[in-house]
Amino acid sequence: MDLGISGRTALVGGASSGLGRATAERLAAEGCRLAIWARGAEALEATAADLRDRFAAEAVVITADATDPEAAARVARAAVEALGPIDILVLNAGGPPQVDPTATDPAGWASAFQLLATTPIELATRILPTMRERRWGRIVAIMSWGVRQPIELLAYSNAGRSALAAWMKTTARVVAADGVTINGVLPGRFDTPRIAAVDRGVAERTGRTPEAVRAANETTVPARRYGQPDELGSFVTYLCSEPARYQTGTFSAVDGGLLEALP
């Protein structure tokens, strides 16, 4: 299938590792011109160098922390300066810390909402006008299966991502006639540094080894394994494609069958 996005500009968050990086690689393979952003310059530069080597892709690097209220403005400005108007926006960064849901606190909520809702919503809001003017745009957020089925130790994540989902669904309907689509993907358990850290946290709390935690988690997945990042990145890239033009306001799990309920 020709995805029809060669030459499109794409701004991808959390692109130095895991799911964001796998998405950036797929978009680069499709011929997109990329701006990638995350916190650490070194890992981002290494990723950009890899994208240039393997895919002959244009890749510029922007460093920012999504928990910083200034981040969205800075990232949007730098990306447009480097690439021109942005056609494809992939909203993604790290996850918030684990927390006992009976022991959350206001500072934790403020940071989680900035990371998971305020920054991505502001970034999309800054990029949307030129997408609408040019009558073509794709916004995809990498979220979590916790949006559908709250995960016990991830109350900040469950709630922050649900706020983002509500904004996306509302806005998707407003901009659909302008050729702009807005969709979310809900990863299940993927083999990335983030899931390894979550597993280590559970292991410490429960007195098990991380390997035992992973093995137990894998038995809860009907596919009996964690996903590989590219299995998520390829679906995100499809949602960013020309043929996906009629799909908007959706939230699709990519989870090896993990979620038990109907959509």
Under the rule (CB under 6 A), what is the footprint of ligand NAD? Answer: 14-20, 38-40, 65-67, 92-95, 115, 142, 144, 187, 189-190, 192-195
Who contacts 174 (Cβ-Cβ below 8 Å, separation ≥6)? none
Closest separation between CB of residue 143 and ligand NAD, Å?
A: 7
* Assigned token pair, 68: 């910083």
By beta-carbon proximity to ligand NAD, the closer residue of 9 and 16 is 16
By beta-carbon proximity to ligand NAD, the closer residue of 3 and 253 is 253
Q: Which residues pair with 190 in a beta bridge?
A: 227
Closest separation between CB of residue 133 and ligand NAD, Å?
A: 28
Closest separation between CB of residue 112 and ligand NAD, Å?
A: 11
Nearest partner of 259 among 187, 154, 182, judged by Cα: 187
Strands 9-13 and 88-91, bridge-based pairing = parallel
By beta-carbon proximity to ligand NAD, the closer residue of 147 and 175 is 147
In the chain, DSSP assigns E strands to 9-13, 33-38, 59-63, 88-91, 137-142, 180-187, 251-254
Q: Are 196 and 210 in contact (CB under 8 A)?
A: yes
**What are the strands of the beta sheet with 88-91, ordered from one edge?**
59-63, 33-38, 9-13, 88-91, 137-142, 180-187, 251-254
Closest separation between CB of residue 94 and ligand NAD, Å?
A: 2
Q: In the bound complex, which residue of the shown chain has the CB atom lying closest to ligand NAD?
A: 18
By beta-carbon proximity to ligand NAD, the closer residue of 116 and 175 is 116
By beta-carbon proximity to ligand NAD, the closer residue of 69 and 193 is 193
Closest separation between CB of residue 45 and ligand NAD, Å?
A: 12
Closest separation between CB of residue 245 and ligand NAD, Å?
A: 25
By beta-carbon proximity to ligand NAD, the closer residue of 55 and 190 is 190
Nearest partner of 235 among 138, 148, 166, judged by Cα: 138
CA dihedral 76, 82, 85, 87 (to 10 degrees): -80
